[in-house]
């Protein structure tokens, strides 16, 4: 079952981009019987290593904005342990309830993208799109030679959002792609393809930081289960990336959003009824 659930998570991540990995924690809790704290730790490792598989491919294809991604990731790596610490300090019911709230928020965003921003829902990991030029609404701009100008305001904006994503990733065990992708597109002039590819690098580094912090904090992890879950995630990611060119689109986003709402409702029901 660990491999099967890992495939589900990898497939969702490959098909939807940011947000697909959010299914990992409920599957680990209700499907494999892990505690919320241990499910968060296993999820961080599985999502990080699954994202690494996609990040390597994206790097060789030249899609990753390496410098911006590293600034974002370093801030997240530094704060992911804070999220782990906070998770150890609250009751399991609190983690589950807040996680269900995050799932609802992600589902709402997916519905919105599918309905209003079709460009974000039709492409997941395909070719790089044309960059916007000198959009006054962004902090980071590209120079004429195609390089991102990482001045002080741009770097500060990347650090601030990286800090937020790091804490949330450590606390909830999610990769944070549903935050990273829109943040990169808001702060910089990246198109959806480059933002999603860069998010894979960020997810990998922040996830590994959170996993290391969970191990140091003394969470009792089943490494065999984790390895099988990661294996399934890599298989699912490969399948999702292959299928995304045929299946990714508004209809698929609607399906995943509905699945998230149903899962969140189930979690809240189990938590309070």
- What pLDDT, on the 0 to 100 scale, is given for residue 222? 82
pLDDT, mean of residues 117-144: 52
State the Cα–Cα distance between residues 10 and 20, nearest whole angstrom.
Answer: 8
**Would the pLDDT of 123 be above 50?**
no
Nearest to 200 by CA among 33, 41, 70: 70
Give the least confident one: 23-27, 177-181, 198-202: 177-181
Choose the weakest-confidence range: 64-68, 78-82, 157-161, 234-238: 234-238
pLDDT at 133 over 70: no
- Helical ranges in the chain per DSSP H: 2-16, 24-26, 36-60, 66-89, 92-116, 118-122, 152-172, 177-187, 192-216, 223-247, 250-272
114 pLDDT tier (thresholds 50, 70, 90): low
How does 120-130 read in b/e, with b if 16+ C-beta sit within 10 Å? bbbbbbbeeee
Position 189 scores a pLDDT of: 74
At residue 142, φ and ψ (nearest 5 deg) are -90, 140
Q: Give the model's pLDDT for residue 74.
A: 93
Average pLDDT over residues 4-19: 75
What are the tokens at 78? Answer: 């530094």
pTM: 0.77
Residue 136, number of CB atoms within 10 A of its CB: 5
In whole angstroms, what is the distance from residue 231 CA to residue 173 CA? 18
Reading phi first (left if > 0) and then psi (alpha if -120 to 50, else beta), residue 34 is in beta
What is the predicted pLDDT for the residue at 249?
A: 62
**What pLDDT, in 10s, does the model give residues 214-266?**
888 888 788 888 899 889 888 887 787 677 666 656 777 777 778 888 888 88
* pLDDT tens column, 14-34: 766 555 667 888 888 888 888
> How sure is the predictor about 95, in pLDDT bands with cuts at 50, 70 and 90?
confident
Confidence of residue 35 (pLDDT cuts 50, 70, 90): confident
Token pair 């590994």 is found at 208
Confidence bin at 71 (pLDDT 50/70/90): very high
Burial of 152 (C-beta count, 10 Å sphere; 0-12/13-18/19+): exposed
pLDDT at 121 over 90: no
Half-sphere exposure of 117 (CA within 13 A, CB side): 13
Q: Is residue 127's pLDDT more than 60? A: no
- The average pLDDT across 139-155 equals 79
């Amino acid at each position: 079952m660990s491999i099967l659930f890992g495939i589900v998570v990898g497939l969702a991540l490959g098909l939807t981009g940011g947000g697909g990995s959010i299914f990992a924690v409920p599957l680990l809790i209700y499907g494999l019987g892990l505690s919320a704290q241990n499910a968060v730790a296993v999820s961080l490792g599985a999502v990080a290593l699954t994202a690494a598989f996609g990040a390597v491919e994206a790097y060789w294809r030249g899609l990753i904005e390496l410098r911006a991604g590293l600034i974002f990731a370093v801030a997240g790596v530094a704060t992911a342990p804070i999220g782990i610490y906070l998770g150890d300090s609250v009751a399991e019911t609190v983690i589950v309830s807040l996680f269900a709230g995050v799932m609802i928020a992600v589902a709402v965003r997916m519905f919105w993208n599918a309905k209003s921003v079709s460009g974000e829902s039709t492409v997941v990991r395909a070719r790089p799109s044309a960059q916007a030029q000198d959009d006054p609404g962004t902090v980071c701009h590209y120079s004429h030679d195609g390089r991102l100008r990482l001045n002080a305001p741009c770097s500060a904006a990347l650090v601030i959002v990286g800090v937020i994503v790091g804490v949330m990733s450590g606390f909830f065990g999610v990769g944070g792609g549903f935050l990273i992708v829109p943040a990169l597109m808001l702060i910089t002039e990246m198109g959806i393809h480059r933002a999603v590819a860069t998010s894979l690098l960020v997810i990998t580094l922040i996830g590994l930081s959170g996993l290391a912090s969970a191990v140091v904090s003394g969470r009792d992890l089943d490494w065999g289960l984790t390895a099988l879950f990661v294996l399934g995630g890599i298989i699912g990611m490969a399948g999702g990336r292959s299928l995304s060119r045929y299946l990714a689109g508004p209809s698929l986003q609607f399906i995943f959003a509905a699945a998230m709402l149903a899962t969140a409702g189930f979690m809240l029901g189990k938590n309070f009824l």
